[in-house]
Amino acid sequence: MMKDIATPIRTKAILEKYGFSFKKSLGQNFLIEPNVLTRIVDHAEVTEETGVIEIGPGIGALTEQLARRAKKVVAFEIDQRLLPILNETLSPYPNVKVIHQDVLEADLKTAIEENFHDCKEIMVVANLPYYVTTPIIMKLLEEKIPLKGIVVMLQKEVADRIAASPSSKDYGSLSIAVQYYTEAKTVMTVPKTVFVPQPNVDSAIIRLLVREKPQVEVDNEDFFFQIVRASFAQRRKTLLNNLVHFLPNGKERKAFIEETLAEIKIDGKRRGETLSIEEFALLSNTLTK
């Protein structure tokens, strides 16, 4: 069995060999604790029938653990300096393909068709760069890629926001956007001490299982998310106030918004954070009529 990449000694040796220096702008924090990596793979329930998309493989620490269990791993790496390192560290694993591209610009549907046609299911598993966590998750969900689920490490505070329930301080438009498409659960927290360099915050691993159909039925998805964003635009303001000020043509439609809220028995004096996703769907569907 190969020595794991994710040990402090091996990581240090690889970085020194290639004279690699971390780029803060790319949010590079490499894991140096193999047990955390195996638990990520466990939570993703990766089997020999799974195709895995990884984002930001770094020097291949998580990629290696995925490759040992998955049918195929396709990893997107933006940093050209890591390509020769990955070429070496992942050479024992013929089922890995590294694509040098920013995943936010990638055509993931085509990548899936080309690489995973013989896989039964597709998972995204990654230690995400903190500065682009939300755009990456939303791309994966909004593009309706045929995924079974997403298991990613991210900043603990972002994980808390994604998995939050109504009326909690972390609940917001991100919670609703992600829970609309998936069942979200934080499965473990990870201390900052298991990374090099150490980040300033603790991390968490969140598991998002993609729903067969969205949690609520909405007549117009774009408008539903507009309503949600408007409702949280200024958290201290009432629902009515936010809708009037932050919805397109809200001021002209104030009377109609008030009538609609009365009709569906949602008190306009409530704050956006007290509404469930079902109430947002009802509000959106009634306002579009």
Q: What is the mean pLDDT of residues 91-106?
A: 97
Q: Which two three-digit tokens encode residue 123?
A: 């998972």
Numbered residues of the known binding site for S-adenosyl-L-methionine: 29, 31, 56, 77, 102, 127
pLDDT at 1 over 70: no
Q: Which domains does the chain have, with CATH numbers?
A: 8-210 (3.40.50.150), 221-288 (1.10.8.100)
Quote the CA–CA distance of 218 and 222 in Å, as a whole number.
9
Q: CA 6, 7, 9, 10 torsion: positive or negative?
A: negative
Question: Is 222 strand, coil or helix?
Answer: helix
Does the model's pTM come out above 0.75?
yes
Could you report the per-residue pLDDT of 62-72, keeping only the tens digit for each?
999 999 999 99
CA distances from 225 to 44, 142, 281 (A): 28, 12, 9
- What's the confidence (pLDDT) of residue 129? 85
Rg (CA), the chain: 21
Element (H, E) at 99: strand 96-100
Numbered residues of the known binding site: 29, 31, 56, 77, 102, 127
Q: Which two three-digit tokens encode residue 97?
A: 């393909």
The lowest-confidence range among 18-32, 105-119, 228-242 is 18-32
CA distances from 204 to 105, 126, 128, 186, 236 (A): 26, 12, 11, 7, 28
Could you report the per-residue pLDDT of 170-210, keeping only the tens digit for each?
999 999 999 999 999 999 999 999 999 998 899 999 999 99
Quote the CA–CA distance of 202 and 195 in Å, as a whole number.
10
